[in-house]
Amino acid sequence: MHDDICSRSFLEFSSRITSPIVNAVPYPHVNIHNVFNDRFLRECLAELKDQLTANFKETDLFKVYQTTDLANLQDCVPRARVTVPHLFRLRQYLYSEAFRDFIVQATGCGSLDGAVDCSCNIYTAGCHLLCHDDVIGTRRISYIIYLSEPDEVWTGTDGGQLELYPIGPDGKNPTDSPVVSMMPEWNSMVLFEVLPGHSFHAVREVSSITKTRVSISGWFHAKQIKQAEKRYGAPSTLQQLQAAGDIYYPPYTSVSIAARSSRQIAEHELSSFLHKWVKPEYLIHENIIRIREHFQNEGSIQLHDFLLPSIADSLREKLKREDSRNRRKCGQYDYACGHGWSVKGPPHIRRYLSYQPDSARTNRNDVGDRLEEVLINVTSTVGFQNWLSAVTGFHCTHAFSEIRRFRAGLDYTLAHSDIFKDSQIDVDLCFTSGPSQWLSGDLGGYQCFTSTEATDGAADVYSGDIAENESLRSIAPTFNSLTLVKVDKGITNFVKFISTHAKGSRWDITSRFVVAKST
Ligand SMILES: O=C(O)CCC(=O)C(=O)O
Ligand SMILES: [Fe+2]
């Protein structure tokens, strides 16, 4: 019987099962160790490495290398039965009646279809898959077989854990942090039930720079559609993984302002107070006209060194100090929480810290207070609203502002978390230090605007060049820069997950202004 494919202990174990063996919290799942014959699995790993091509894929939700869909092995690998015989046998075995019977017994999931739906994912340093529920079509059981590092122990500091999230007290959304965390151990297999609105899980970023997390994963499908309607906006996992291509970073617009003109915009139009905060060059009438021309042509603009150097320099020091505090705790889900900073979720949509101190002004934080001062004295003022109307050519009304901190290794927002319903100006005043580390996009932290059509269904979020995909803008975080982006109905944006290898957080004050009409 399959002892050249499975381990003896697994065959014995599976023959003894008479009732489901799943853990119930946070939802039915099981983690089985030493499933396959060690030699057989090593052959599979060798074939994966030597014979299959892995393509790099990145979207708001994940960063991963993915090989050919294993269901189409014979179409994608020349002479597949000869070149990848072990992978062929593994696939055949996984979707055999015997193995499906085991899944049914072990999980109590009801009868399963024989449809093959699996692929191989490779996570190197920085790769991750954020919180999602796997719900698409008839998917009933998710399985993941780990082929990571057969000769080394995978430890917590390597990252790459599969994390399961419970539903929070509202009965709808996953909580801010997971309650189950499983190492991707060599020759182990995790099974869990795909439950609409429940089966939230994520793959923690791989932080090891030497180890590779390799998995073969997929789904067993129900015979009939059983409440398996897609609940959440973005297609997740396989369909999205397959849909995505290489990431593309289009250039953003930026202008440098010459400090020569003396004529300033009328004092009654711009609050004189703004002069105490904003570099004078940005308040000069002729420069405002130049910015407006640029903005109207491009739909976005980035203004560097926006606040006065004296204000920016002291902020930079404070933020740097804050980023180096409690470093050994960074990566913990409650890192830097408290004193006015709280986690904004839910994690299948977003995670970051938001600064909202209590009105009694007791539980506060110095850095948060400094940023709040900027929010109160700059972005929330009538003077700024008037200035924004002048530099954009649109009559703008302030809708909201928020102080955010995106922590390394933890935080992000996903596309579809925020779909614009009308014309607005997105205003982001960014205080993230260390410009060079962010430019390549490898550490995430950039803001990306794209159309919802591009992220729906099978369309590719990032591929194509700017001419084909004009709604796409990607903006690297830069210290003391103000980015203005005109967004219209059907546009969505996200802040890409920040890698644990980033030296600090992304700090920003984000504001939204509703566009009433052209001035
Ligand atoms: O690799 C894992 O542990 C989970 C993968 C996953 O969630 C997926 O591909 O949908
Ligand atoms: Fe998944």
Confidence at 71, pLDDT banded by 50, 70, 90: confident
Higher per-residue pLDDT: 74 or 265: 74
* ipTM rounded to 2 decimals: 0.99
* DSSP line for 334-402: TTT-BTTEEEE--TTTEEEEEE---TTS-S--HHHHHHHHHIIIIITSHHHHHHHHHHHSEEEEEEEEE
Tell me the ligand closest to 237's alpha carbon: 1
Strands, DSSP E only, in 273-336? 300-303
217 lines ligand 1 (CB under 6 A): yes
Tell me the ligand closest to 144's alpha carbon: 1
Higher per-residue pLDDT: 19 or 249: 19
* Two structure tokens written together for 124: 């190197």
Confidence at 473, pLDDT banded by 50, 70, 90: confident
Atom of ligand 1 nearest to the CA of 217: 9
Name residues whose C-beta falls within 8 Å of residue 493's C-beta, 6 or more positions apart in sequence.
413, 415, 418, 426, 447, 448, 449, 450, 485, 487
Phi and psi at 493, nearest 5°, equal: -140, 160
Confidence at 243, pLDDT banded by 50, 70, 90: very low
Higher per-residue pLDDT: 354 or 469: 354
**Mean pLDDT of all residues in 188-210:** 97
Write down all domains in the chain, each with its CATH number in brackets: 8-243 (2.60.120.620), 261-332+372-518 (3.60.130.20)
The confidence score (pLDDT) of residue 253 equals 38
Question: What spacing in Å lies between the alpha carbon of 171 and ligand 1's midpoint?
Answer: 24
Name residues whose C-beta falls within 8 Å of residue 357's C-beta, 6 or more positions apart in sequence.
339, 340, 363, 364, 365, 368, 369, 372
Q: How does pLDDT run across 141-162, given as a tens digit for each residue?
A: 999 999 999 999 999 999 999 9
Q: How does pLDDT run across 18-69, given as a tens digit for each residue?
A: 899 999 999 999 999 999 999 999 999 999 999 999 999 999 999 999 987 8
237 lines ligand 1 (CB under 6 A): yes
Confirm if 37 and 9 have CB atoms less than 8 A apart: no
According to DSSP, the residues that pair with 491 across neighbouring strands are 451
* DSSP line for 383-437: HHHHHHHHHHSEEEEEEEEEEEEE-TTT-EE-TTSSB--S-EEEEEEE----HHH
According to DSSP, the residues that pair with 222 across neighbouring strands are 112
Say if residue 461's pLDDT is above 60: no
Atom of ligand 1 nearest to the CA of 119: 9
pLDDT > 90: what percent of the chain? 71
Say if residue 234's pLDDT is above 90: no
Atom of ligand 1 nearest to the CA of 202: 7
* Two structure tokens written together for 318: 């404070």
Atom of ligand 1 nearest to the CA of 237: 10
215 lines ligand 1 (CB under 6 A): yes
Tell me the ligand closest to 238's alpha carbon: 1
What CA–CA distance (Å, rounded) separates 445 from 440? 11
Question: What spacing in Å lies between the alpha carbon of 240 and ligand 1's midpoint?
Answer: 12
Confirm if 237 and 129 have CB atoms less than 8 A apart: yes
Confidence at 183, pLDDT banded by 50, 70, 90: very high
Q: How does pLDDT run across 261-294, given as a tens digit for each residue?
A: 334 455 445 556 789 999 999 999 999 999 999 9
Confidence at 507, pLDDT banded by 50, 70, 90: very high
> Residue 15 belongs to what H/E stretch?
helix 8-16
